[in-house]
Amino acid sequence: MSVRGGGLQRVVAIFIKDLKSYYSKAPVISWGILFPLTVIALLDLSARMLGEYRVVPAMLSITMLFASTSMSQVAVSFEKLSGAMQRVLYMPVGSAELVVAKSLGGIIYGIGGTGLAGILAYIMTGHVAMIRPAYFLAGVVLGSTLYSALSVLVSLYYNPVQAVAVLNIIRFSMIFLGGTLFPKALLPRILAGLAYFFPSVYITDLLRFGMYNTWEYVDPLTSLIVTAILLAATLYIAHRLALKVMLP
Amino acid sequence: MGGYAIEVEGLVKRFGRVYALRGLSFRVPRGETYGLLGPNGAGKTTTIRAIAGALRPTRGRVSVLGLDPSREPLRVKALVGVVPELPSLFPELTVRENLLFIARVYGIPSGEAERRMRELLEFMGLEAVASRRYGQLSKGLKRRADIAAALLHDPEVVLLDEPTGGLDVVAASRLRERLAALRRSGKTILLSTHNIGEAAELSDRLLVIYRGAKLVEGTPSMLRRALSARRITVYYRAGGSEVEASRLEEALQEALASYDPSGLRVAPGSVSVTVKRALDALWAIRETLESLGLKVEDVEVLPPSWEDVLLHHIEEAEEGGRTCRCGVGGSSAW
Ligand SMILES: Nc1ncnc2c1ncn2[C@@H]1O[C@H](COP(=O)(O)OP(=O)(O)O)[C@@H](O)[C@H]1O
Ligand SMILES: [Mg+2]
């Protein structure tokens, strides 16, 4: 018997299986949900001092980052640990299909998490600005996809323990140096310059522009282009890596 | 269509500085069960991965049903069912959910998937645990579920990587019954194992590999006949004088040198060894024992066990350094 059905069917099957298996796993709950909630609570304080337009997009951006990267990491690392990744390698699943399928859970978590954080922000502040929803939406979708694919890449390349460490380095440098937690005005010049190396800068400014019609580091069009390029590069590298994992 | 389902020719695989395979060649006729026998690290898993399209050979050629697995991995994977070395279904899902997921990945229509699933659950004796989570099953049941999963898309070629590895004797023997039934179904089966008895029981032909190269190939009975050797055990009594085991072993090695000895074991009260020309060798052993003041009490001469056959070939290969020389060049010494 040969394989029937297209790549889409395989991608969806893997995605649904991942959601069923991993949505309630400890790292997903703690990093993807509890941690962002804590950050949101903390940021509520600073919102009053620093201004909502600075803080609310940052907290949405951090939520997106943690939600999407934790889900994708679990979807790859847990399967490496259980041995099920071996089975996947023997299935007729293409390398691009594997990357997309493994990213989908994280994308959904990123988008959902950002939405939830938005609702929380609304509850805390009593209103939500959404002046340019298309930019906001682009930021959420591109950002979740980029973070999720990045996490798949890291989890495919490193063993599960290393992957957690590497992802935490990436996450926390994005929080502290990546233009999310600290507004540009508060950062020393050299650190503010460093921020441009992190995708979070562009994604946060996209959200900011979408909500408040203003930006802090980078103008929205540049942000859009840079995010799209970073996304394409990440997907490309993840795909090459998946090929290497599947046919070493 | 007759011919060969699997053809492997001069297969070399290098991982960094380690050669996992050094020019392995063999062919598996359609519909036969072929045993791939070798100790840990021999290269069994690497061979299976290369056949399944999950590994790119460093050199050499692999063909599965006429396809090159490293060029068309997806087509090969669709025709081949693999039972990996370790339990490998999704622990969070039940057995049934696992099978349904696999059916979706292989694009099996749901009606047909249901039917195949029912058949296979019955065939592997899994009906009672179909709704239990895979992660909670015993090792034996996990292996059966692994096999059901590998058969779901009705593959023409089935690759089993040490299916009974790590099972207790009861679970292993039950699983072998299922494998014997699978063998009768007419599929082409490649069965890797380090259990020589299992390989002999279940395979039409078998290949012994060691350090990534062919040691010997043949039918199980040919293999056994190939060795005219006998396993001799001599029971003795210390006639007053104590003899150190190492001294006795040395003396026996010397006395038996011309009898092609292998697997020499010296235990308190007995020595055993596999040799050619058993009768003459027996005299030599007796003389050696008596010269050391030991008295022969009883003697046992048996055909070699499968383990002896394997050990004999490995020892011979190590002495001659053949596996090393036959290495990368392609043709192996046997
Ligand atoms: N991915 C790998 N990286 C490095 N060495 C490997 C890898 N896979 C197998 N090997 C080495 O190749 C040899 C053969 O391994 P394997 O095929 O797993 O043997 P077997 O399955 O017969 O126990 C071993 O020495 C093993 O250490
Ligand atoms: Mg192995």
Read off the CATH number of the domain in which B292 is found.
3.30.70.2470
Contact residues, chain B, for A248 at CB < 8 Å: 55-56
Identify whether residues B149 and B199 lie together within a single domain: yes
Q: How far apart are CA B263 and CA B311, in angstroms?
A: 7
CATH code for the domain of B132: 3.40.50.300
Beta carbons of B272 and B234 less than 8 angstroms apart: yes
Q: How far apart are CA A71 and CA A145, in angstroms?
A: 12
Domain closes at, from B165, B194, B225: B225
Identify whether residues B158 and B87 lie together within a single domain: yes
Sequential pLDDT tens for chain B (334 residues)? 469 999 999 999 999 999 999 999 999 999 999 999 998 999 999 999 999 999 999 999 999 999 999 999 999 999 999 999 999 999 999 999 999 999 999 999 999 999 999 999 999 999 999 999 999 999 999 999 999 999 999 999 999 999 999 899 988 998 999 999 999 999 999 999 988 889 889 999 999 998 999 988 999 887 766 666 788 999 998 766 677 888 999 999 999 999 888 889 998 899 999 888 888 899 999 999 999 989 899 999 887 777 777 777 777 777 765 444 333 333 333 3
Q: What is the pLDDT of residues A121-179, one digit of tens each?
A: 888 778 888 999 999 999 999 999 999 999 999 999 999 999 999 999 999 889 888 88
Partner residue opposite A92 with nearest CB, options B70, B78, B84? B78
Q: Predicted confidence band at A230 (pLDDT cuts at 50, 70, 90)?
A: very high
Domain span at B18: 4-225
Spell out which residues line ligand 1, taking CB within 6 angstroms. B 15, 18, 20, 38, 40-46
Contact residues, chain B, for A89 at CB < 8 Å: 54
Is residue B328 assigned to a domain?
no
Identify whether residues B37 and B71 lie together within a single domain: yes
Identify whether residues B134 and B245 lie together within a single domain: no
Helix axes B245-255, B278-291, angle to 10 degrees: 140
Identify whether residues B132 and B197 lie together within a single domain: yes
Q: Which of B46, B194, B208, B211 to mutate to test the pocket of ligand 1 (most atoms within 8 A of CB)?
A: B46
Closest Cα in chain A, distance from residue B164 (Å)? 17
Q: Would the pLDDT of A16 be above 80?
A: yes
Beta carbons of B6 and B171 less than 8 angstroms apart: no
Identify whether residues B296 and B263 lie together within a single domain: yes
Those residues whose beta carbon sits under 5 angstroms from the ion ligand 2 are B 44-45, 85
What pLDDT, on a 0 to 100 scale, did the predictor assign at position B326?
37
Identify whether residues B179 and B250 lie together within a single domain: no
Identify whether residues B154 and B217 lie together within a single domain: yes
From residue B247, alpha-carbon distances to A165, B66, B186, B231, B288 in Å are 57, 58, 54, 21, 11
| Nearest residue by C-alpha to atom 7 in ligand 1 | B15
How many separate domains does chain B show? 2
Is residue B288 assigned to a domain?
yes
Residue keyed to tokens 């039917």: B115
Q: How far apart are CA A111 and CA B107, in angstroms?
A: 29
Question: How many angstroms is it from B52 CA to the middle of ligand 2?
Answer: 14
| Nearest residue by C-alpha to atom 1 in ligand 1 | B15
Identify whether residues B57 and B192 lie together within a single domain: yes
Q: How far apart are CA B191 and CA B109, in angstroms?
A: 29
- Smallest Cα–Cα separation from A110: which of A193, A231, A6? A231
Sheet bearing B4-15, strands edge to edge = B18-29, B4-15, B59-64
Q: Where are the alpha helices (DSSP H) in B43-93?
A: 44-51, 73-79
Is residue B310 assigned to a domain?
no
Ligand nearest to the CA of B20: 1
Is residue B308 assigned to a domain?
no
Average pLDDT over residues A191-217: 93
Identify whether residues B216 and B265 lie together within a single domain: no
Partner residue opposite B77 with nearest CB, options A13, A86, A91? A91
Give the total residue count for chain B: 334
Identify whether residues B28 and B76 lie together within a single domain: yes
Chain-chain contact of B78 with A82 (C-beta, under 8 angstroms):
no
- The sign of the dihedral angle between the CA atoms of B50, B51, B53, B59 is positive
Residue A30 per-residue DSSP state: I
- Smallest Cα–Cα separation from A12: which of B25, B107, B234? B107
Is residue B333 assigned to a domain?
no
| Closest residue in chain B to residue A242, using alpha carbons only | B54
- What tokens appear for A103 in the block? 């990213």
Identify whether residues B88 and B174 lie together within a single domain: yes
The four Cα atoms B140, B142, B143, B149 give a dihedral, to 10 degrees, of 150
Ligand nearest to the CA of B44: 1
Chain-chain contact of A91 with B79 (C-beta, under 8 angstroms):
no
- Smallest Cα–Cα separation from B305: which of B231, B254, B246? B231
Is residue B322 assigned to a domain?
no
Q: How many CB atoms lie within 10 A of CB B320?
A: 11
Is residue B323 assigned to a domain?
no
Is residue B327 assigned to a domain?
no
